[in-house]
Structure 1
């Protein structure tokens, strides 16, 4: 997976003597090509790890409206027009949010807005997703971003210690898939502004245990396949994940931490980090989420249901009892019980010509 930082700008959210918050955005974008690699890595890696949640936009989100007005989708490629204008509007939207009700007690600070892209997959099977990120940094006494709104003091502010920020997958915003969750966010700490940050984004965190559990199974299978596991290895991972989730259902009301799950399934920090990254970046799963018991039971089964039939079998049957004929696009099942075969033959046309070998 490769990442590229494309746009970056900083806005100052400052309160006047009458406590009114206003936004001032840097006149031009920061030249990302001149940033040290450590800062680029910090910005593009902020939204991976503990405490992350996923969400969707509410129907009247002003943030989403501004985003769609300043972006264009051309053949799966996202481009930003007037990124500085978009960032300024979002900063003003945050200032407006902080001037309402209890939010007027919130301290001011800086809004760091940036765009980066991630390319997933290898060879011809690659695709790219584009993210718009907003990170809020509180003003710290004695430490400040300078008057030109540059990153001179960013190391002292410690960007890596993210407590308040949101990342929006712009590709998902344009998607027609109702199951998409374009927002990844972290809202921690007890500051007043943290209570209103998600309101500024215009987002909410849905809880859909069935969909999340299906995504988890898909992610395990994909990650294992891409990392050299054979069919038996994939089934073993799914079986271990099933046992882990069942234990959490019994002891933790069904809530699972993907960090704990990664540590349980894989050996080595690189594999664990890679798995967590896949879950959060591609499958939009929160750091802690609720699993569905019925879906967990399907972790070692393949389950297909249409309006005409329901098909379910254990994944290990793929290597022992099921053959695929690519030429005829057909599956052949072996070792079926004779009773099951006879029931099927009862409804088959021309069943007199069918021979069953027991």
Structure 2
């Protein structure tokens, strides 16, 4: 086990025959410790590996500028032992029910709340889970339909780093959350019920880091191999931090780069117009551009490793063309068959 569970509970928000949402509250924490451990271990791994998470904090929320502090106030009372975990989770369920009642797209779900420790940090995990039906074969080879929690397709979840919240109450990133699908704001209600607002633009920070790395290698008159080595060193460090659930630390990254003789990166990144924080979450999709080039449009998609640029892949910006030397075997076979057929 990579986590140690303190408390966990599940409440249900259901829709009655009149279409109104109701809370069905569990009166005590989950008792089946083994099942709870397996479920939360799986959710912890799924959540940590989710790409493109957003980061925020408890703050001013909504168009009226009012602070929605009911959830954070209840959390503070729980941490100060003024509220028990069951009472805190019950209040949270009713807050979520009230928020959901403002919309006509939700039929509720199972609200999971869990306090657990991973490595050196204490977390509060909050997720609205849906049930999914599946078929099971019984001992007599008869089929039966069962409902189970759909853990692999989790879309509404947030995790509060309680250790960071206590140590750095002014931090803008102690809450992480799964972003909704592109162009959709259905998940916004989940942040509204907690009073969470976005504090760190992860993609922007990672894009600035990538720009700083590119400017850094170009300004140090490195060879192509040395430049690519720096890019890969940055990428490997950042992805490792992401996999561990930790932030990118610029000073620590500079120490990693010092092994390649690049020990001035921190000063370079702070001296430019990159507006980088000393620490920020990693975004793998953005950082992948350090190792790969990719793009799509007009019915054409292309992707190749960065070290092939100028070697197997020749780009001419004047004629807006790319020449590829050594066409991949499977693509060559398809092209040869098409030419032969024509």
What band does the TM-score fall into relative to the shorter chain? 0.5 to 0.7
Please say if 1:265 is aligned against 2:257.
no
Moved over 6 A (4+): 244-247, 261-264
Corresponding position of 2:292: none
Corresponding position of 2:104: 104
Contact 2:165 2:171 in 1 (8 A): no
Separation in 1 of the partners of 2:156 and 2:44?
15
Separation in 2 of the partners of 1:187 and 1:23?
25
The equivalent position to 1:194 in structure 2, one of 174, 187, 191, is 187
1:74-108 CA distances to partner (integer Å, 9 max, x unpaired)? Answer: xxxxx7951111111111100010112xx133221
Cα 1:298–1:2 change in 2 (3 A) is: same
| SS of aligned partner of 1:204 | strand
Cα 1:208–1:28 change in 2 (3 A) is: closer
| SS of aligned partner of 2:214 | helix
Deviation at 1:43, TM superposition (A): 2.9
Deviation at 1:276, TM superposition (A): 0.7
The equivalent position to 2:128 in structure 1, one of 136, 156, 160, is 136
Please say if 1:67 is aligned against 2:69.
no
Please say if 1:89 is aligned against 2:60.
no
Contact 2:21 2:107 in 1 (8 A): no
Corresponding position of 2:140: none
Corresponding position of 2:214: 243
Separation in 2 of the partners of 1:138 and 1:245?
47
| SS of aligned partner of 1:66 | helix
Corresponding position of 1:25: 25
1:169-223 CA distances to partner (integer Å, 9 max, x unpaired)? Answer: 122333455234211100334888523111112111124689956xx98xxxxxx
Separation in 2 of the partners of 1:179 and 1:208?
13
Cα 1:164–1:245 change in 2 (3 A) is: farther
Separation in 2 of the partners of 1:210 and 1:273?
14
Separation in 1 of the partners of 2:33 and 2:71?
28
TM-score normalised by structure 2 residue count: 0.54
Deviation at 1:283, TM superposition (A): 5.9
For residues 151-300 of structure 1, the aligned pairs below 5 Å read 156-189=148-181, 194-207=187-200, 212=205, 242-243=213-214, 265-266=235-236, 274-278=240-244, 280-282=245-247, 300=265
Contact 1:22 1:95 in 2 (8 A): yes
Corresponding position of 2:267: 302
Aligned length: 227
Corresponding position of 1:226: none
Deviation at 1:273, TM superposition (A): 5.7
TM-score normalised by structure 1 residue count: 0.52
RMSD: 4.2
| SS of aligned partner of 1:70 | helix
Separation in 2 of the partners of 1:90 and 1:53?
21
Q: Which runs of 5 or more structure 1 residues have no equivalent in the other structure?
A: 73-78, 120-127, 144-152, 218-238, 248-260, 285-296, 306-358
Corresponding position of 1:115: 115
Contact 2:100 2:106 in 1 (8 A): yes
Contact 1:240 1:265 in 2 (8 A): no
Cα 1:36–1:94 change in 2 (3 A) is: closer
Cα 1:208–1:35 change in 2 (3 A) is: closer
Deviation at 1:141, TM superposition (A): 5.7
